[in-house]
Structure 1
Amino acid sequence: MDWVTALPPGGDKSYNVCLVSVDRYRKTPMFLPCHKDDTAMDTVIMTWNKVIRNTGIFQNIISDRDPKFTSALWTNLHNLFGTKLSFSPAYHPQTDSLAERMIQTLEDMIRIFCAYGVEFKDSDGFTHDWCTLIPSLELAYKTSIHSSTGKAPAMLEKGWNPRLPYDTLKKDLVDIHPIASSFKSMLDKARHHANRCM
């Protein structure tokens, strides 16, 4: 687990950082918009509600020494569940190289779309900020072939790849709403950029 920081305010709650959690074996990421000033309690609740409910209790968590991850609450809670906490030294962040690579990938994907502006309009006029893109970027990454496994993370996680809008898209529609067309374009771009980053 690690953070993508220095993001412009995004979403309806003006999030400014993104917690990145990566399953080491399946390479499955979760991108969680949050606030730089969130407390350890906020991080515990978010992790419980958005990560653990999907993955179950962790056997091991590798993270940096962020005060949220070294807090008494975080360490006691994970001791209670039998989760081993491993911290990368400040001078050697490569210890958590999978999260570091995922953070670089997410930053690249966000930069390609947003150029770290507060929001952008794609060529179809649909306005996005980085928070609105996170679910599409995560899905694009999960359904792209990973170089180290030769499989998509979603396939390793579920045993099947989710049906994507692109897979079922009706190409012969003449009268399509501009926002629907823009949404399709955004998903296509997200998948293309996820493939480039992997």
Structure 2
Amino acid sequence: MFLPINKDDTAMETFIIIWHKVISHTGLFQNIISDRDPKFTSALWTNLHNLFGTKLSFSTAYHPQTDGLAEIMIQTLEDMIRKFCPYGLEFEDSDSFTHDWCALIPALELAYKTSIHSSTGKTPAILEKGWNSRLPYDTLKKDLVDIHPTESSFKLILDKARHHANSCMQDSLNYANEQWDKSHKPPEFKIGDLVLVSNLNFNNIKGSNKLKY
């Protein structure tokens, strides 16, 4: 789910949004992947993880081996928003009315979930529900046929689709790791060696930005 929130939202406000928008629809999650956002590292979320039996995993910036899937999805969403808002965070519709970028989220989420992904060969909607969501485009088609699976075969279809998707995603991650490792070999250091460390991605360094380069 794509949920717009404010960067100033507290841990409690974030939990309330997730409770109403995510957990109420899908149930409790088993794992959360976060980029060490304070919203998810607070004492509140620590207690919630212990209470619900969930796990918090941290992604590492500029390290594709950690969890590239989440980063790819975020980049895809950013690219989709950028198509509509190339010069800022607002866009105009065909009637010249101005809207905030948040108004795009529901439509972009529907487009994302009903698009075939190269890594799985299926749409997220198929993997989640077993069938694609009905789109406005479908109303233009003639002789629409109900393709919902029967109750007896529904679970089998979902299980096979998810198994195939998981296999494809793992292959995609393995391929990405192999390509990364081919051109990025860790240097060998010895005790006492002098090294130069780039602080380009260090956000906690005070002073002039000129010192970063």
With structure 1 as the length reference, what TM-score do the two structures score? Answer: 0.65
The aligned residue for residue 33 of structure 1 is 4
- Residues 36-90 of structure 1, C-alpha deviation per residue, up to 9 Å, x if partnerless? 1000001111111111112211111121111111101011101111101111245
Corresponding residue to 1:138 among 86, 109, 132? 109
Corresponding residue pairs, total = 142
Name 1:148's counterpart in structure 2. 119
Q: Using the TM superposition, give the Cα deviation of residue 106 of structure 1 relative to its aligned residue in structure 2, in angstroms.
A: 0.6
Whole-Å separation in 2 of the counterparts to 1:125 and 1:90: 39
Residue of structure 1 equivalent to 2:187: none
Percent identity, aligned pairs only, is 84
For 1:162, give the aligned amino acid.
Answer: S
5+ residue gaps in structure 2? Answer: 143-213
Matched, 1:120 2:118: no
Cα–Cα, structure 1 residues 123 and 53, in superposed 2: closer, same or farther, change >3 Å? same
- 1:1-198 to structure 2, matched below 5 A, reads 30-89=1-60, 92=63, 95-123=66-94, 125-169=96-140
Long gaps (5+) in structure 1: 1-29, 172-198
1:116 is displaced (CA, Å) by 4.6
CA separation in 2, counterparts of 1:117 and 1:34?
A: 17
Residues 170/93 of structure 1: CA separation in 2 closer, same or farther (3 Å cut): closer
Superposed CA offset, 1:136-184 (max 9, x none): 000000000011111110011111111101110389xxxxxxxxxxxxx
Q: What is the letter of the counterpart of residue 50 of structure 1?
A: K
Residues 60 and 83 of structure 1 are in contact (CA less than 8 Å); yes or no, is this contact kept in structure 2?
yes
Higher helix share: 2
Code of the residue aligned with 1:86 in structure 2: it is S
Give the aligned residue type for 1:119. E
> Residue 33 of structure 1 aligns to which amino acid in structure 2?
P
1:125 shift after superposition = 3.5
Structure number with the bigger relative contact order (C-alpha 8 A, sep ≥ 6) is: 1
SS at match of 1:148: coil
CA separation in 2, counterparts of 1:90 and 1:168? 43
2:160 matched residue in structure 1: none
In proportion to residue count, which structure has more strand? Answer: 1
Amino acid at match of 1:75: T
**Distance across 2 between alignment mates of 1:57 and 1:71:** 19
Name the stretch that deviates more: 84-93 or 111-120. Answer: 84-93
Superposition TM-score, scaled by structure 2 size: 0.61
CA distance in 2, matches of 1:118, 1:77: 33
